[in-house]
Amino acid sequence: MRELGRHILIEMYDCDPDVLNNLETIRTEMLEAAIVSGATIVGEVFHRFTPQGVSGAVVIAESHLSIHTWPEYGYAALDLFTCGDTVDPWVAFGYLAEKLQAGRTSQTEVKRGLFPTELGQARPYKNTPAQRSDC
Amino acid sequence: MRELGRHILIEMYDCDPDVLNNLETIRTEMLEAAIVSGATIVGEVFHRFTPQGVSGAVVIAESHLSIHTWPEYGYAALDLFTCGDTVDPWVAFGYLAEKLQAGRTSQTEVKRGLFPTELGQARPYKNTPAQRSDC
């Protein structure tokens, strides 16, 4: 079996509420987390809620990084999904845990896209190369 | 213990490769999946890769829906993350499995944001209401 990607689900508790509620800070740090982990950013979307909280996603060539914050609980839910071997999602995790000043975290890594055979033997699509350019 | 959200990780195999490779179709069906599940869309981002594949995310007031497709394997990785009780992520799952013509799926539901006490007892943030307007 081989997986196409790794998906890390992260709970960050006891974060700085002011950081969690700042749209520009969250956006900047999520983009920076993508960069420091070696990812290629291809798109982004962020939104601040009323009365509080920020949600957003950074789409990368290697999948995505997402975040949802609840400042009132000092809590953020993140998931860092990467495919290929060039990006290390744990680097992004370490970066964000520090920037959000998380007091406590828990994280689970899930393998995504499991195939019973070597990927090179998978069904080709219109005779294009068998791999996405970045994975 | 009470959770803030439900996060469903979905593997869709043996999908229609042409659907998986069509940016506009994927975008349209992801937005529609959000709507049929009762979510409120607050943002979106989609990208088509060369030579193939589409990635994207729909940020909703209740968290997010994301997708990454590998047409060459007939495979799509989705995750549907919702908070609150007004949105049913399984409705979005059923809708998308049909639209992507998935031959086989596997899915795992993960509880996100577990708190040991009732949420009403959590630390308040600047005296704002204890819940996001939509969750």
Model confidence pLDDT, tens digit, residues A87-108 = 999 999 999 999 999 999 999 9
pLDDT band of residue A129 (cuts 50, 70, 90) is: very low
Q: Do A110 and B108 make contact, defined as CB atoms within 8 angstroms?
A: yes
Closest CA–CA distance from residue A28 to any residue of chain B (Å): 17
- Among A59, A62, A118, which would you mutate to test the B interface (most chain B Cβ atoms within 10 Å of its Cβ)? A59
DSSP symbol at B74: T
Which residue reads 């920037």 in tokens?
Answer: A99
pLDDT of amino acid B122: 53
pLDDT of amino acid A135: 67
pLDDT of amino acid A127: 44
Residues of A in contact with B55 (CB under 8 A): 42, 59, 63-64
Q: Collapsing DSSP states into helix, strand and coil, what is residue A107?
A: strand
CA–CA gap between residue B69 and residue B48 (Å, rounded) = 10
pLDDT of amino acid A115: 87
Q: Which residue of chain A is at minimal alpha-carbon distance from B6? A: A77
- Among B8, B52, B55, which would you mutate to test the A interface (most chain A Cβ atoms within 10 Å of its Cβ)? B55
Closest CA–CA distance from residue A119 to any residue of chain B (Å): 8
Share of chain A above pLDDT 70, in %: 86
Output the six-digit token pair for B1. Answer: 């213990």
Pick A57's closest partner by Cβ from B59, B124, B128: B59
- Among B44, B59, B60, B63, which would you mutate to test the A interface (most chain A Cβ atoms within 10 Å of its Cβ)? B59
**Alpha helices of chain A — where are they, by DSSP H?**
17-20, 23-36, 89-99
Q: Which among A79, A80, A76 is positioned nearest to A100, based on CA atoms? A: A76
Single-letter code of the amino acid located at B56: G
Single-letter code of the amino acid located at B31: L
Q: Which residues of A are known to be catalytic?
A: 63, 68, 83
Q: Collapsing DSSP states into helix, strand and coil, what is residue B93?
A: helix
Q: Do A63 and B43 make contact, defined as CB atoms within 8 angstroms?
A: no
Share of chain B above pLDDT 70, in %: 86
CB A108 within 8 A of CB A93: no
User: How many other C-beta atoms can be found within 10 angstroms of the C-beta atom of residue A108?
Assistant: 11
Q: Which residues of B are known to be catalytic?
A: 63, 68, 83
Q: Which among A80, A6, A69 is positioned nearest to A36, based on CA atoms? A: A80
Cis status of the peptide bond prior to B129, with omega within 30 of 0? no
User: Of A48-52, B107-111, B112-116, where does mean pLDDT reach its minimum?
Assistant: B112-116
Whole-prediction pTM value? 0.91
pLDDT of amino acid A130: 45
pLDDT of amino acid A116: 77
User: Of A1-5, A101-105, A127-131, B79-83, where does mean pLDDT reach its minimum?
Assistant: A127-131
Which tens digits make up the pLDDT trace of B25-63?
Answer: 999 999 999 999 999 999 999 999 999 999 999 999 999
The kind and range of the H/E element at B28 are helix B23-36
Which tens digits make up the pLDDT trace of B123-134?
Answer: 555 544 445 555
Residues of B in contact with A72 (CB under 8 A): 122-125, 128-132
Q: Do A64 and B57 make contact, defined as CB atoms within 8 angstroms?
A: yes
Q: Is the pLDDT of residue A134 over 90?
A: no
pLDDT of amino acid B123: 52
Which tens digits make up the pLDDT trace of A44-100?
Answer: 999 999 999 999 999 999 999 999 999 999 999 999 999 998 999 999 999 999 999
For all residues of chain B together, what is the average pLDDT? Answer: 90
Q: Collapsing DSSP states into helix, strand and coil, what is residue B87?
A: coil
